[in-house]
Structure 1
């Protein structure tokens, strides 16, 4: 019997299967070259749901988890990265599943919060800080050294007219808005008699749907020899970001209502 006849017999044997028999198979030897292939693509329905849902909207993520998860699913929360991973078909140690159905959440900072963090601790040119104040004037509150509130227009006028006076000192005492230079030179940053504000507050919703938080920052000024440079430092930033992370955890735990669904703090590499 030649190879052509053998091939014909194999093809006839496979064609003898009815559709309901094929549906019972997961793998088969394909006659042409004996490759192992799945027959799932020939079936009416897939054997399992495979997919990854991704969003940056907290409410949508919670809704998806509540609509698809079971007590055999799991959710992992990274409160530092403000992300979450839901493995819908995880199973457990005794009855593991493939983990091919996942839901991912990655929150984006609001534009105001992102701008505040981007400039924190950076020396800015005079015009750069002016533009920052102009862009976010509704979020900002400035105070003078006595704690009195200053009007936005006054702040902008002050920033636009800043000059730097260098004063030699034998003993330098650092002020809130000065920065030491070499040879113990101290800077007096003024605008025709008006001092640079000592600090400001920035009220912002860090992530959509989160509580508004008020960040307090100290303002400093110096010169590079040619121009005025300004920077601010957010006070207690680590404590504030920790509180935001805890709020993230609380929102997820409160929103997810699947009985018996485990929620963990951490990350998971499953079926990697």
Structure 2
């Protein structure tokens, strides 16, 4: 009596499944696995156990202190922390392992620092073309954070600087020169527009604030400019060396984490890591 093709296929699958089961059993793996005949895929049975085979997962926080505490609790010589200064984030991989004995790198903690309200408003103002009212109100709202100065670097009282911005005077003068020769005629014109205030305009101001919760207070230096091309004067305040300041804040975050991790063996790096 001959067997049909489906019966032969089932016998082959049963034999192959038995062989795979024997191989898995002899391997003595920590993770329980099962071979099934559906394309002979390997299936994990961990989800059916009372608990997981090993501790893993992702912890996320915006609190620097909680991040360092968690890292100190679970970190060791197989851990590393990577700091991204552009995003002001840090990620610790606890089971990174080593080159010779690499880990799964799936047990991690992530810190995402949040900008303070002061820094958010300052960055929104940076480079914005403002009307007099908008700039004056910003300086009044953050009077405790701002120190104004003249073009000579001398400090100006905030009340005087705000009054100067509210009372701008635009002066315009035009000078024309005409020259006529036998074979040509030339004409040139020079127009000068100047903004001034009897109160004494500030050349810029320093804005001091805590940029991110957990970092030290920092001073941002801004250059103040007045644009006179439109119907009404507009003002812009631009942060000097903003990119360099952002890099400094990233290094500060790394230094704070490196100092906090001294009791452990967690190394810190500027950069990111992907397994």
TM-score range, shorter chain: 0.7 to 0.9
Matched residue, 2:250? 245
Q: Map Cα deviations across residues 31-78 of structure 1 (whole Å, 9 max, x no partner).
A: 899764321111121012231111222111111110111111111122
Q: How many angstroms does 1:91 deviate by? A: 0.9
Q: Does 1:197 align with 2:192?
A: no
Any unmatched runs of 5+ in structure 2? 15-24, 177-188
Matched residue, 2:55? 49
Matched residue, 2:105? 99
Matched residue, 2:145? 139
Any unmatched runs of 5+ in structure 1? 11-20, 171-182
Query: For residues 238 and 186 of structure 1, do their structure 2 counterparts lie closer, same or farther at Cα, with a shift above 3 Å needed?
Result: farther
Q: How many angstroms does 1:201 deviate by? A: 1.5
Distance 1:25 1:140 in 2: 61
Q: How many angstroms does 1:238 deviate by? A: 4.0
Distance 1:155 1:205 in 2: 24
5 Å matches for 1:215-230? 215-230=220-235
Distance 2:213 2:96 in 1: 30
What number of residue pairs does the alignment pair up?
243
Query: What value does the CA root-mean-square deviation take over the aligned residues?
Result: 3.1
Matched residue, 2:171? 165
Distance 2:192 2:32 in 1: 79
Distance 2:31 2:249 in 1: 51
Question: SS of the residue aligned with 2:144?
Answer: helix
Distance 1:32 1:148 in 2: 81
Q: TM-score, normalised by structure 1?
A: 0.76
Q: Does 1:127 align with 2:151?
A: no
Task: Confirm or deny: 8 A CA contact 1:142 1:150 kept in the other structure.
Answer: yes
Task: Confirm or deny: 8 A CA contact 1:82 1:245 kept in the other structure.
Answer: yes
Distance 1:184 1:244 in 2: 46
Q: How many angstroms does 1:230 deviate by? A: 0.3
Flag the structure with larger Rg: 2
Task: Confirm or deny: 8 A CA contact 1:53 1:102 kept in the other structure.
Answer: yes
Question: SS of the residue aligned with 2:134?
Answer: helix
Distance 1:232 1:257 in 2: 41
Distance 2:47 2:216 in 1: 48
Distance 1:252 1:28 in 2: 43
Task: Confirm or deny: 8 A CA contact 1:164 1:222 kept in the other structure.
Answer: no
Q: Map Cα deviations across residues 193-232 of structure 1 (whole Å, 9 max, x no partner).
A: 2232122111112222322222222211122321111012
Task: Confirm or deny: 8 A CA contact 2:228 2:234 kept in the other structure.
Answer: yes
Q: How many angstroms does 1:26 deviate by? A: 2.0
Matched residue, 1:262? 267
Of 141-150 and 157-166, more deviation after overlay is shown by: 141-150
